[in-house]
Structure 1
Amino acid sequence: MGQLILRKADFFTSAGQAVAVADRYPQNVFAEHTHEFCELVLVWRGNGLHVLNDRPYRITRGDLFYIRAEDKHSYASVNDLVLQNIIYCPDRLKLNVDWDAHIPGLKGNDRRAHWRLSSSGMTQARQVISQLEHESIHHDAQANDMAELLFAQLVVLLKRHRYTTDNLSATSREPLLDKLITALAGSLDKPFVLETFCEQEQCSERPLRQQFRSQTGMTISQYLRQLRICHAQYLLQHTEILIGDIAMQCGFEDSNYFSVVFNREIGMTPGQWRHRSRDGTAVNINMMNN
């Protein structure tokens, strides 16, 4: 079976339209595919497994991806996952904007595809995307120009408010939930103690746990565990690091316990995963919402 390719004609209202908005309320499981266009992916709530170019990411509120047309990606193990895709055709953009400076990987520059977007950035982005969606369904002579202007505003706004996934200093003025998610991403290879985090931030554990679950659909421990398993999957597939060392790099001091957790989440041992992912038989990455 050939690769699924999403076609321009199915998503854009005309051959001249450069930008459109594709809502996913919710985003369901979606098979691996590429596109005839590029897209920005912003996650508003819930969680899911996003596999981009064979690398798994456990995604939730605030995750931001820059997807090129040739990138292959899919969604699995979704749980109330709400996101928006802002789709665009670089060859149709007419404004004299240095798009390459604001969109990572567009022309082979900084290829970092995965970022976090601050809560303040999310609030502002929602407003721009709402306007962009309104213009993208209009058919008057100025609609495409207005949509492109709003898209330019959006990509600059995202550049201002995005940060690397484990950059805790970038969240110093952001709400607790941003700080917590970023702290978890920075704790892949070391213990994370919520009590210590709450002492540092001078907050109460219980409301934070409730807020986290409400926004992400997971407990804090589930999210951290699945971040670590995703990182382990990547290391198993793309490096020659010994399984015991991978366990340590993913926050598991006991390699036997790592194997038990990995097997429970993925349905196979780390060794089986390494073998099957490399010979192409582990195409459907499975992660349970335990």
Structure 2
Amino acid sequence: MRDTLLLESRDYLPSEQMPVAVAERYPQEGFATHTHQFCEIVIVWRGNGLHVLNDRPYRITCGDLFYVRASDCHSYESVHDLVLDNIIYCPERLRLGAQWESLLPPFAASDERYWRLSTQGMAQARPIIAKLSQESRKTDSLSLQLTEVLLLQLAIVLKRHRYAVDKAHMLPDGEQLDLLMAALQSGIDGPFELAVFCQQHHLTERALKLLFRQQTGMTINHYLRQLRLCQAKRLLRRREFRISDIAARCGFEDSNYFSVVFAREAGMTPREYRQRFVAAEEIGP
């Protein structure tokens, strides 16, 4: 098993009483596999990269939202101008009698860690996080209380404006980037026609391409290909799917072309990638 770095609370929080801190990653560099003595909320503002959470790869970009528990193991790889905030919190230090069980892990029963945050949600979260960053650097009793109140406000905003990638119908009209992201992530297994999408939502194709590149650092086609490759990596770890079936499930009509693209991106063939995890399972921890 790989050596895993443990990040300690004392290195991120100014006192043993402070429940919350903000770790600003402007930019977020590649970061080795690690766990924590704390939980964290990860909000991606710009750029792109690979977030590997409990051995599951996610191609991340602006608007991606993760809830990470202390025991979760994760890392960042292949990052490009990736900008994000880590909102760190110690559950055992929270004193406010709030309904945390419906808002944040480890209180929340749901195992769902990955969401998308709407454009409106990102706009509302930013000033809360800025204030939280300021107050969490202090150690007086009022700041201790205010940081927890701000964390509660942030948690509510995130829950109100987050959405699952297969729930595009929940998004209001006019949020162009949100609609496009949802369409891309829910349509990995088939062709995506940008012109048809723009016509359906009364959008300008050229302007949408420019907006997407400004926010993510990628073209739409590149992002969609990365999503498909992440999905392929997940499926390759399951022995019941043949490689040709995985190619089809990930939107590649030609399994040979899929193998070429996969090898170029991952540095190994799909078969070699699968064998690496099969071998790890046989060896055990």
The TM-score with structure 2 as length reference comes to 0.95
Deviation of 1:127 (Å): 1.1
Once the two structures are overlaid, the 10-residue window that deviates more, 239-248 or 35-44, is: 239-248
Structure 1: segments with no counterpart, 5+ residues: 282-290
Contact 1:114 1:165 in 2 (8 A): no
Kept after mapping to 2: 8 A contact 1:118/1:161? yes
The SS at the match of 2:29 is coil
- Stretches of structure 2 that go unaligned for 5 or more consecutive residues are none
Question: Corresponding residue for 1:236?
Answer: 236
Distance 2:108 2:55 in 1: 19
Kept after mapping to 2: 8 A contact 1:118/1:174: no
Q: SS of 1:142's equivalent?
A: helix
Aligned 8 A contact 2:14 2:138 in 1: no
> Is 1:133 paired with 2:133?
yes
- In the TM superposition, what is the alpha-carbon distance from 1:134 to its structure 2 partner? 1.2
The structural deviation recorded for 1:45 is 0.5
Q: Which residue of 2 aligns with 1:78?
A: 79
Pair 1:264-2:255 in alignment:
no
Look up the match of 2:67.
Answer: 66
The Cα offsets for residues 139-192 of structure 1, whole Å up to 9 and x where unpaired, read as 322101000000011111111000002321122335211111111001110110
Partner of 1:97: 98
Partner of 2:45: 44
Counterpart CA distance in 1 for 2:107 and 2:146 is 24
Report the Cα offset of residue 108 of structure 1: 6.5
TM-score for both structures, normalised by structure 1: 0.94
- Comparing 203-212 with 67-76, which one deviates more in the overlay? 203-212
Q: How many residues are treated as equivalent by the alignment?
A: 280
> 1:21 Cα deviation (Å)?
0.4
What amino acid maps onto 1:256 in structure 2?
Answer: N
- 1:210 is the counterpart of 2:210: yes
Letter in 1 for 2:193: V
Aligned residue for 1:12, secondary structure, equals coil
Residues of 2 paired with 1:45 and 1:24: CA distance?
A: 11
Q: Specify the SS of the correspondent of 2:203.
A: coil
| Cα 1:63–1:272 shift into 2, 3 Å | same
- Structure-to-structure mapping, 1:1-290, within 5 angstroms: 2-103=3-104, 105-107=105-107, 109-280=109-280
How far 1:239 moved relative to its partner?
4.5
Q: Distance in 1 between matches of 2:60 and 2:3?
A: 27
SS at match of 2:65: strand
AA aligned to 1:63 is D
Q: In structure 2, how many angstroms separate the alpha carbons of the residues matched to 1:134 and 1:239?
A: 49
CA contact (8 A) 2:15 2:139 kept: no
Q: Is the 8 A contact 2:102 2:108 kept in 1?
A: no
SS in 1 for 2:32: strand
Amino acid at match of 1:27: Q
Measure how far apart 1:98 and its partner are.
1.7
Paired amino acid for 2:76:
Y
User: Within 2, Cα distance between the matches of 1:173 and 1:142?
Assistant: 41
CA distance in 2, matches of 1:214, 1:2: 37
Residue 206 of structure 1: how far off its partner (Å): 1.1
Paired amino acid for 2:208: L
Deviation at 1:213, TM superposition (A): 0.6
Deviations 1:98-129 (A, max 9, x none): 212112x4246110100000000000000111
Flag as ranges the 4+ runs of structure 1 deviating above 4 A. Answer: none
Stretch of structure 1 that moved more, 48-57 or 239-248: 239-248
> Percent identity among equivalent residues?
54
Report SS of the residue matched to 2:141.
coil
Whole-angstrom CA distance in 1 between matches of 2:23 and 2:173:
31
Counterpart secondary structure, 2:140: coil
Distance 1:97 1:241 in 2: 45
Root-mean-square deviation (CA, aligned residues, Å) is 1.3
SS at match of 1:109: coil
